[in-house]
Chain A
Amino acid sequence: MPRRTHIQTTLNGEEIDFLCEPRQSLLEVLRDELGLTGTKEGCNNGNCGACSVLMDGRVVNSCCVLGVEAEGAEVVTIEGVADGDTLHPLQQCFLEEAALQCGVCTPGFIVAAKALLDSEPDADEGRVRHWLAGNLCRCTGYDKIVRAVLKASEMEEVSA
């Protein structure tokens, strides 16, 4: 077995550490070592965005980041988006707007959209479509996803 490296990182606001092999992606570490299976694998090569997580505030495809690269970083996954039992406005709007069907791309979309609204709370439809072009959804045709993100952007909690 390849030698495992000790990594310290902040995950969903909590300081944690883990051991990982150099060849393991952050996605694999999250899912298989840390048990956070909310981040999904759709392609494992950065094409679909199902594994989107925030790393120091930026959206990354966690399948294209090595686990060892998480050293010293702040990582936010779908499990860290809600505030306790209070859903994030994006999560609430995805439910209200029926913006998910099978739901497997949903964590990636919510994480990616959160990064957009965190920095551009007034994003319009064109901007939302452009920003989310790295996340594939095969069920919805994107209509209701875009509406959900736009609705969330209008909610006080986000624009404040």
Chain B
Amino acid sequence: MTTTEKPDYKVIGTRPIRPDGVEKVTGKALYGADIHLPDLVQGAVLRSPHAHARILSIDTSAAEAMPGVLAVVTHSDLPVVADKVLDMGEGASTASDMSKNVLAADKALYRGHAVAGVAATNVHDALTAIEAIKVEYEVLPPVLNVQDAMRDDAPLLDASRHTRTPTGEESENASNVAAHNRFEGGDVEAAFADADIVVEREFDTKMVHQGYIEPHNGTANWNSDGTLTVWTSTQGAFAVRGALAELLQLPVSRIRVIPMEIGGGFGGKIGVYLEPVAALLSRKCGRPVQLTMDRTDVFQATGPTSGGHMRGKIAVKDGKITAAEVSLAFEAGAFPGSPVMAGAMCMLSPYEVENFKVDAYDVVVNKPKVAAYRAPGAPNASFCVEQLIDELARETGADPLQFRLSNSAREGTRMITGVAHPRIGQEETVQAAQASDHYQSPIEGPNRGRGVAGGFWFNAGMQSSVVASVNPDGTVNLIEGSTDIGGTRAALAMQLAETLGIEYDSVRPTVVDTDSVGHNDVTGGSRTAYASGQAVYEAGLDIQQQMVARAAQLWECEAEDVEYADGGLRHTSDSEKTMTFAELAGKQMETGGPLQGRGSVVARSPGAAFGVHVVDVEVDPDTGKVDILRYTIAQDVGTAVHPAYVEGQMQGGVVQGIGWALNEEYYYGEDGRMENASFLDYRMPTSLDLPMIDTIIVEVPNPGHPFGVRGVGEVPIVPPLAAIANAVHDATGHRFTELPISPRRVVEELHNLQ
């Protein structure tokens, strides 16, 4: 479904095979753990068995004396760093917090917190050696959820931490609440007093993990001249380089980060965990060191996303939402930095809400420090708001999609941040869902129900740079620095081919290391096809301009008399004078030398993404199992560059949301131990749990991008939590306000009703 006449693209909108495809289906692609270097040794990391403990002493002498052991490091091997904020692209942290997260300093703040690293000639010796490290702990009571952490008498993770209040001041008392922010607009009290209907509920969600299949890894070689090379699976090679420069106090130019293929990230592979430890070990032993996590480490010691507690209250008058009051408290994990602000800013953005009061609390708890996870914060917050909206639609007797359409934001509607939406596709997306075959078909049968929900994500812009080298045979090498998680090599090559009017197969994209291209921010925020795409477009225009000048030189005319069109050059008044792209590419030596195009952008107009989901479920009242019978997602993608990969993003995001809604949670014992730190017990959806996921691509072009591209990857995970809860309510008559809606919870809550 498109809303406007699309330009007659030749490459954009097609479905070519990705450039890195053959290597990935034949097993030749090299991921971080696949790197083998001469003299490479392996390492292991000792982790805290306690969720909260003071580290009184660490004795590494026995481990260091063991056969095969080459080096042992602890926090004391890291330089002291300032409290400087490091913006990693999706989520910021201070350098000192990051340093304490990489290797615990005076306290272990979660079970799995790294305490020491060992390098040995093989991984088995390293694993044996970490057991010989003697750590004396003073075990402290852990705080494991936001309500407990916010109590006045709660044990404090950091006694020097005070709350930054909405006015920017520091609270008088020390607290686990790192920050409290507030958005206020209109007259909330008057609107609630004047409302026809008000609904109010509390909601809870649990910590969940991104669940990428490839565990974290980091391989480092520290040379005696102070140069450091790091091979890693990361969403942001430049973010890793910047973090290492800060944590290790090295000049940026001395660090080369080589991004290996990355086996999934979803926001969770932006921060650094193993890389600094591998670097320290390499410096100590003088050999390259490789560290990899096992799955338990991935769950316990890398960033999941927040669980939290939410309270929402929304008012309706004459079918219109008139006021919303929402309070969100999200777990940040061991150090401040939950995505609660993003959640707060997203949850009401599909709608026009004049009167609002939104409070957002960032709360530290004794769990791993959270990391970004696909539209961080928005799914939780929408779980609250989209259920309240469903309830309001029901109470007013309105169709839930029509209710959303009647209250939709459009161009000019202000979000709670005060920023007005530019051209957006919210209404078109709701209408596409309404018109879908799925929504038009009845749902029948006992214990079955249908739910809908909407979602919003900002999408990010940030910095990208690329270089495109024209080869004498008319092919082009595209040098880029955006790591490719799911097909962006293809999406970028397609945009360069489109810009130049040449074949997709003529463009060969390569993701290079941090020494080999200008700065590129992370592959995150759904920014790569959009922002790096814009850099690619700029590089294409640069090539066009240079080619025009060179053609003018060959034809001995003015550059104004030459135009670049349809993948070639032509004289505007002499139709005899034409040259194909390849012909001019073959004349580089006689026209000024090697031809390179450059594109460098700070992309500032990422068109926001909207998604509307429709889901049918069947609830087994005896076992509590919820089956997904049918799922349809409609989403405004601006322009679908490679529709198959766009659909893939939509389907993948939905299925992560299905897992979050129905099964996934960090399940903690009272001692702060995660009880389900394996893929068997942390139950992600399998192929058997799912139907096909139907996609409706809505294209309302982003006016801020030459091809109208909007970010695609994140918003698909926003609506499923609420859409499924709404469907389960439709099936059972019971509203589930706590995730996951697992068989145990369904049986318990339905049983309690009887």
Chain A: residues with CB nearer than 8 A to chain B? 21, 23, 31, 35-45, 47-48, 50, 77-79, 81-82, 87, 91, 94-98, 100-107, 110, 128-130, 132-147
Contact = CB atoms under 8 A, between A and B. Distances in A.
B27 interface: yes
A82 B26 contact: yes
B112 to A, nearest CB: 16
A83 to B, nearest CB: 11
B214 A146 contact: no
A136 B26 contact: no
Given A101-B487, A101-B648, A102-B263, 6 more contacts: A47-B295, A98-B642, A138-B264, A140-B652, A143-B693, A146-B687
A103 B22 CA distance: 10
A35 B36 contact: yes
Contacts of B15: 98
B485 A45 contact: no
Contact of A95 (B25, B486, B652, B680): B25
A78 B652 contact: no
Contacts of B263: 40, 42, 102-105
B687 A133 contact: yes
B652 A101 contact: yes
Contacts of B651: 140-141, 143-144
A47 B679 contact: yes
Interface secondary structure of B, over-half rule: loop
A136 B679 contact: yes
Contacts of A47: 295, 678-680
B26 A40 contact: no
A40 B21 contact: no
B648 A144 contact: yes
Interface of B: 15, 17-18, 20-22, 24-31, 33-34, 36, 124, 210-215, 261-266, 292, 294-295, 485-487, 642, 644-645, 647-649, 651-656, 678-680, 684-688, 690, 692-693
A24 to B, nearest CB: 9
A27 to B, nearest CB: 11
Contacts of A38: 26-28
Interface secondary structure of A, over-half rule: loop
Nearest to A110: B25
A45 B25 contact: no
A98 B644 contact: yes
A103 to B, nearest CB: 3
Contact of B213 (A95, A105, A142): A105
A133 B124 CA distance: 31
Contact of B684 (A36, A134, A136, A144): A136
Contacts of B648: 98, 101, 139-141, 144
B160 to A, nearest CB: 38
Nearest to B217: A41
A133 B27 contact: no
A138 B213 contact: yes
Nearest first, the 3 A-B pairs at minimum CB distance are A38-B27, A104-B263, A141-B655
A103 B213 CA distance: 10
B43 to A, nearest CB: 14
B693 A79 contact: no
A130 B687 CA distance: 7
Given A101-B486, A138-B264, A40 B214 contact: yes
B657 to A, nearest CB: 10
A103 B679 CA distance: 19
A81 B26 contact: yes
A97 B643 CA distance: 11
A135 B213 CA distance: 10
B287 to A, nearest CB: 16
Contact of A44 (B265, B266, B294, B686): B294
Given A139-B264, A144-B651, A132 B294 contact: no
Given A98-B15, A104-B214, A130-B688, A138 B652 contact: yes
A102 B485 contact: yes
A96 B264 contact: no
A153 to B, nearest CB: 15
Nearest to A101: B486
A1 to B, nearest CB: 8
Contacts of A139: 264, 485-486, 648, 652
Contacts of A140: 648, 651-652, 655
B678 A45 contact: yes
Contacts of B26: 38, 78-79, 81-82, 87, 91
Contacts of A50: 213-214
A110 B25 CA distance: 8
A129 B655 CA distance: 15
A138 B683 CA distance: 12
A91 B684 CA distance: 25
A100 B21 contact: yes
B652 A104 contact: no
Given A47-B678, A100-B25, A141 B693 contact: yes
B408 to A, nearest CB: 27
A81 B680 CA distance: 28
Contact of B295 (A35, A40, A45): A45
A103 B687 CA distance: 16
A117 B664 CA distance: 32
A44 B297 CA distance: 12
A137 B263 CA distance: 10
B126 to A, nearest CB: 13
A101 B485 contact: yes
Contacts of A45: 295, 678-680
B213 A104 contact: yes
Contacts of B211: 138
A74 B373 CA distance: 41
Interface centre among A35, A137, A143 (most CB of B within 10 A): A143
A96 B17 contact: yes
A146 B22 CA distance: 19
Given A102-B262, A136-B686, A40 B31 contact: yes
